[in-house]
Amino acid sequence: MTFDFDRFPTAALDAVPRVDLGGWPTPLHEAPRLGEALGLPNLLLKRDDVHPLGAGGNKLRKLEYHLGAALEAGADTVITFGALQTNHGRQTAAACAKLGLRCELVLTAKVPRDGDAYEHSGNIPLDWLFGATVHVCADGEETGRTYDRLVAEAAQEGRKIAMVPVGGSNDLGALGYVRATHELATQLAERGIERAHLVVPHASGGTAAGVALAAGLLGGLGVGVACVSHPLDEATENLRELTAGAAKLLGVDPPSLDHVRLGDSTLGPGYGIPTDAVWDALRLFGRTEGVVLDPVYTGKVAAALIEWAGHFAPDDHVVFLHTGGMPGLYGYAPEFAAAVER
């Protein structure tokens, strides 16, 4: 089966306001030593982590649509949300700096971690570097009050707010990975590859939903989704809702999702809490390919890839989506150092 590019809703996708942040397409790299270790000789890495803006990452693809809508609406201030070590916040701050927009990051200390590394290293200094104002909140109630205050202050000062959801994940944000999956399918087709299995994360859901929708439209792509934030039942429902919403924006029927398999076996105790399997995955990627993962997202997806490797046929083409997150690794510096010393 070849990819059905004629079925892909290119015109509808191009009609949605979007700001081009540059740096596309991201590379598709072979990973022969990692593939040999896993028994996957046709393993490939889709490197959204090496995008040149703001230390890279998957949220930039969603932000192209959110910030495109913000600019079209005349907004001059962007407010978004996340955990203390949010990669999304860092990428939002970088994109806002590039576009000349004011950025307010409302961050909630929802991960059960403290210490200087987690509270003052990793993504936090980069948020400041890119000019964002960072508001740290203890819980959801304080987060809500802070948002209300920022909206009121903006109104008093005559500024126009655009609100971007956590992770950039809603129907609109998912379009970023609809476009990304078309980009990937094009790269695969250029190599003569007609079928592949993708391995991607599910956290706030926009990345997985965009991939699932585009893969269903293009054909030839199976999708393995590793849950890194929510248990399987919650992630499945979120994925269905976002996929259907993104399909509606494009005027297409949502796919059945029979081509998608979700798993939460590497989730561990919860979001932002790495397990031994995660540190093992970081070491394996680093020592076979010189590729850096993070302990929150890509480390858990890599642990899932290791677990799932035996379920693929030896000649299958498997693509690991590297969504970035490397700066957040330094928020886990003590554990990271201990893990890689072994």
- Kindly state the DSSP code that residue 34 receives in the 8-state scheme: H
pLDDT value of position 2: 81
Q: Is 0.85 surpassed by the pTM of this model?
A: yes
Residues of the chain with pLDDT > 90, as a percent, come to 97
Q: Is the pLDDT of residue 42 over 90?
A: yes
Q: Is the pLDDT of residue 312 over 90?
A: yes
Strands 317-322 and 260-263: unpaired
Q: What is the pLDDT of residues 49-77, one digit of tens each?
A: 999 999 999 999 999 999 999 999 999 99
Mean local confidence (pLDDT), 130-138: 98
pLDDT value of position 87: 98
Reduced to 3 states (helix: H, G, I; strand: E, B; else coil), residue 80 is: strand
Q: What is the pLDDT of residues 183-232, one digit of tens each?
A: 999 999 999 999 999 999 999 999 999 999 999 999 999 999 999 999 99
Distance CA 205, CA 19 (A): 21
pLDDT band at 88, cuts 50/70/90? very high
Q: What is the pLDDT of residues 319-332, one digit of tens each?
A: 999 999 999 999 99
Cβ–Cβ under 8 Å, residues 327 and 296: no
Residue whose structure tokens are 């960072």: 134
- Kindly state the DSSP code that residue 272 receives in the 8-state scheme: T
Mean local confidence (pLDDT), 116-142: 97
Mean local confidence (pLDDT), 16-25: 98
pLDDT band at 282, cuts 50/70/90? very high
Distance CA 235, CA 241 (A): 10
Residue in 19, 93, 34 with CA at minimum distance from that of residue 281? 34
* Domains of the chain (ranges, CATH numbers): 5-57+170-341 (3.40.50.1100), 59-168 (3.40.50.1100)
pLDDT value of position 1: 58
- Kindly state the DSSP code that residue 21 receives in the 8-state scheme: -
Residue in 281, 282, 288, 278 with CA at minimum distance from that of residue 37? 288
Backbone angles phi, psi at 29, to 5 degrees: -105, 145
Q: Is the pLDDT of residue 342 over 80?
A: no
Mean local confidence (pLDDT), 83-97: 98
Mean pLDDT of the chain: 98
